[in-house]
Structure 1
């Protein structure tokens, strides 16, 4: 019994061994197929490498413009040259960027862009002395500065007592003609002007609101507005600072207007808007555009910014437009 089992196991083992052994002819055939495949693969690989239509983009960084062009022509690539400023004067005339990047595979005749340094930006500070600071800032912001032009960073200006009109630039830092090569902080010393002198409050009570507002705006006196339902339609019925009081620029007077009596086609309201702060006075105008397209001026005054409240009475559907100089900054349709 034991013997039969051992014979059976030995028989199975011999059978498995026979299944794993391949004929020599088959093995040789397989080896030939594998070897032939490798030869074909290597042949294709070297044919691609030796293909004269394919080149690798060279590293052109720090080369002079002449050497970079020669290197690209040697690779039968077309150079496309652009110029830009760099952070160092030592880079002038050399490649500071390229595209495509080094190592990129291209075909002959493809274009490679190389950026050549024009050196560091060297310029001289302009003279702004004697000009109005708001005009200067508006002009600087309006200009489109590209990489080849000077860019100023305007620092908060300083005000000093002066006989010159308000906002006139007396001094600047850096001074005119200073050589600079990068983004430059520019600070102005400007005149406070004569209109910083103390003013005296007038008597506005009993005056129609349009005349009172025009007087306050003309005197550059800050004011706030309240409304009241009384019989003095449209007139000023209260002022917080008594007539004849001496005030300075920081003082604000509160006036109360009796609501005017109007028909149903006309609307009375108060235009409220917060202006951006300016270092000196800017020209403000409030204009009316009627339904038939006609334009008229409601208010014209100077302001340094902050919250403004301006009463109006206009026909329904009219448009009230707020301007700084000739730039429209707000539009309100009255309904």
Structure 2
């Protein structure tokens, strides 16, 4: 047993000596590497110190070359494409205009619109930039090209009301310096079973080709020569009910007023002439008398009769009386047909209300109730 223990200890000390020798060898090698690194770094510093001027010159030369290249690229990019003069293509056919643009390496941007003349179709009307401008090749040039006239034939207006035809022509040629169709308002009138203001004939005839501006002549109906109307009985009707009757009958009413007598109601009809339930020609005049308060004011309302003298019309036109309240709200009091001349309309509105009379939706007169 003592021999075995001795043998084990010898082996242990032998291994320890070997490990110690290895550590010494590793440290010597490591020290030699660090020493070599220090020597190499010292050599680099000496070389840098000896050749520093050459290195600095080389760096400066490199920077200068790069600067020259950068400036060259910059000026080439600024110079860009070749400059060209914009040609004049206004009045030319679109195909010819496009060829001229292509030669100049310009690119058109097209906008289509209607023009005054049928023959303008496909022609350049405007250009931007204008002719003679200096631009770079590749620039877009705005061209306005004609679609031609908005219509190229005369429409059929027979059977339509003259007021609607006026509005149609006005909207059709809005913005035109020379409308293709001009309505001759020296109308020809004749009695006819058609409603008043209806177009009976036209010249030129429908579907006539339009090459230049034309004057449209029409004949209008005056209504039936034997058209009879039954006069409604208005006595004791309120003001609002009377206005409703005005809207439904082909009669011309002349309104007046007086203070109430006995048990007559304020704001009601007290007499009329001719009396109700009799027949007269269409658009005959009927006199109507209202009972209004003595001071013309009752329950916060001002009573009165709106009066205006208009030109006389050959056929009945649409009239409308509107009220604009002090707060700004607007509403129609009555709408009816009239032949012109003396017009009278009863009203009961708040103080400060403005009354507006219009003929075929065009304002003709205003009155402030005060």
TM-score norm. by structure 1 comes to 0.58
Residues 139/275 of structure 1: CA separation in 2 closer, same or farther (3 Å cut): farther
Say if 1:320 and 1:334, in contact at 8 Å, map to a contact too: yes
Q: How many angstroms does 1:115 deviate by?
A: 4.2
Counterpart residue number, 2:215? 185
The DSSP-based 3-state class of the residue aligned with 1:176 is coil
Residues 222/93 of structure 1: CA separation in 2 closer, same or farther (3 Å cut): closer
**1:259 matches 2:292:** yes
* Counterpart Cα distance in 2 of 1:184 and 1:152: 5
Counterpart residue number, 1:154? 183
Counterpart residue number, 1:231? 261
* Counterpart Cα distance in 2 of 1:213 and 1:52: 77
Say if 2:198 and 2:220, in contact at 8 Å, map to a contact too: yes
Say if 1:121 and 1:182, in contact at 8 Å, map to a contact too: no
**1:269 matches 2:299:** no
Say if 1:94 and 1:117, in contact at 8 Å, map to a contact too: yes
1:161-176 alignment, distance < 5 Å: 161-176=191-206
Q: How many angstroms does 1:126 deviate by?
A: 1.2
* Counterpart Cα distance in 1 of 2:164 and 2:121: 36
Unaligned runs of 5+ in 1: 1-49
* Equivalent of residue 75 in structure 1, options 95, 104, 129: 104
TM-score norm. by structure 2 comes to 0.54
Residues 137/195 of structure 1: CA separation in 2 closer, same or farther (3 Å cut): farther
Residues 307/140 of structure 1: CA separation in 2 closer, same or farther (3 Å cut): farther
Unaligned runs of 5+ in 2: 1-78
Which string of whole-angstrom CA distances, capped at 9 and with x for unpartnered residues, describes residues 279-309 of structure 1?
A: 6434555577999999997545322445522
* Counterpart Cα distance in 1 of 2:302 and 2:140: 67
The DSSP-based 3-state class of the residue aligned with 1:163 is coil
Higher helix share: 2
* Counterpart Cα distance in 2 of 1:315 and 1:159: 43
Say if 2:119 and 2:211, in contact at 8 Å, map to a contact too: no
